[in-house]
Copies of this chain bind each other. A is one copy, B any other.
Amino acid sequence: MSNTFGKIYKISTYGESHGKAIGVIIDGCPSGIEVNEKDIQKELDRRKPGQSKITTQRKEDDNIEILSGIFNGKTTGSPISLIIKNKDQKSSDYNHISTSFRPSHADFTYHKKYKNRDHRGGGRSSARETANWVAAGAISKKILHDLKIKIHAYVSKVGKLELNKTYNELDFDNTENNIVRCPDNKFAEKFISIIDDARKNRDTVGGVITCVIKGCPIGIGEPIFRKLHAELGMAMLSINAVKGFEYGSGFKGVEMFGSEHNDEFQIKSGKISTKSNNSGGIQGGISNGEDIYFNVAFKPVSTIMKDQDSIDSNNKNTIIKGKGRHDPCVVPRAVPIVESMASNVLVDLYLQSKK
C-alpha cells in the first residue's frame, strides 16, 4: 500500500474504521508553527458525522490528540503524530459483508488483492481515513495562513442542479451558515431539499465541490511532473467517491478557440496580471499569481438503504441489504476534506519551491 502523501510536507496515515484508532504522522512540518488541539478539532468538527439531518446520524466526536512534535505550543520540526480514537462503532452492522461485497464499494477489490480483509465499517477503505487528512490539513492551513493564502471550498452542484454563479459572485463568509455548505442561500436550500429527498427515498445523490485558492504567490508548482494542477488533481482523486477533476476552464475550455481562451497579460495597479483567467491561476504547472480554482465531482454514495444484487466470497449470488447509518450525499462533509487536501498540496509544493 501507499499511505504517504507529499514529498516534503509528508503525511503518513493508518487506521481502520472500526479498529482501535486512526491517525496521521506529519513529517516535514517546519519548526516554530503555533499549533494546538483546538485548531485541529475545529476543522474535524466540520467533517464529523452527525452534524445535521443531511449527514449520517452516526455520532463520532473524532477527538484529536497530539502525541508528538509540539513543544511549548509550537512545532519543533519533529514529526507530529495525531491520533483519533474510535468510539461509536456498531461492527455487527457489518457482519453481512464479511463474506459478501457491497456494489461499487472496495470490498471486492480489497478481498482479491489482500485476502485478509477487515470488513468492519469498510476497514481501511472507509472514508473515515479522510479525518486524518483534515487533521493534517488543519496544520498546513496554519502555514498558509502565515503566507496569507486562503482556501475556500463550497458545494456548487447537487444531483442535476448547478449553482448558476461563478465564484466571484459569492460571499465565502456565508459558506458555513448552512448545513450544505453553499455560500448562496437560495441554492443551499434547494441542495438541502434534493439531498433530503434522496435520503427519504433510501437513496443517495452526487455533487460537485468548487474550490478557490486566493493569494497564492507566483512560482508554486513544478513544471514537468509535479505540476500544481496535477498534484491537486491527484489529491482530489484520492478522496473517496471522487470521479473527476477540472481546473480553470476545465472540460468547458475544450469548446473554446485559442483566441477566446488565452489569458492576455496586462499591467494593473502596477502588477502583472491576466485579463481573463481560463488558466485557473496555473500556467505550465506553476502558479501565476491569479486565483486558482477547480471542480471536484463526487458520485452518489454507494451505500443505499435498498436491496442490491451481489456475490459472496464463494462466488454465490446474494442480496446486500442496506444497513447502518450513512450519508445521503457526501459533499457537505467533503468541503473541509477538499480544502485540507488542497492545503496539504500547496504547503508541500511551497516548501519544495523554497529549495
Listed in ascending order, the chain A residues whose CB lies under 8 Å from chain B are 1-5, 7-8, 10, 12-16, 19-23, 25, 27-28, 30-32, 65-69, 71-72, 74-81, 83, 101, 103-106, 108-110, 112-118, 123-125, 129, 157, 159-160, 198, 201, 203-208, 218-219, 221-227, 229-231, 233-234, 237-238, 243-251, 253-267, 272, 274-275, 278-280, 283-288, 295, 297-304, 306, 308-311, 315, 317, 351-355
Contact = CB atoms under 8 A, between A and B. Distances in A.
A20 B71 CA distance: 11
Contacts of A125: 223, 284
B206 A253 contact: yes
A354 B28 CA distance: 12
Contact of A309 (B20, B74, B233, B265): B265
Contacts of A223: 1, 106, 109-110, 113, 124-125
Number of copies: 4
Contact of A113 (B16, B66, B265, B353): B353
Given A123-B78, A254-B298, A284-B110, A264 B308 contact: yes
A208 B261 contact: no
User: Which of A2, A249, A266, A308 has most B Cβ within 10 Å?
Assistant: A2
B117 A251 contact: no
B226 A2 contact: yes
A170 to B, nearest CB: 19
Contact of A246 (B23, B222, B297): B297
Contact of A1 (B12, B78, B83, B251): B78
Contacts of A303: 258
Contacts of A157: 254
B114 A76 contact: yes
Nearest to A74: B116
Given A110-B286, A258-B304, A265-B309, A355 B247 contact: no
Contacts of A14: 25, 27, 67-69, 78-81
**Sorted from nearest, which 10 A-B pairs have the closest CB atoms?**
A106-B284, A244-B246, A204-B258, A109-B286, A206-B254, A258-B300, A234-B234, A230-B237, A14-B79, A77-B114
A26 B265 CA distance: 34
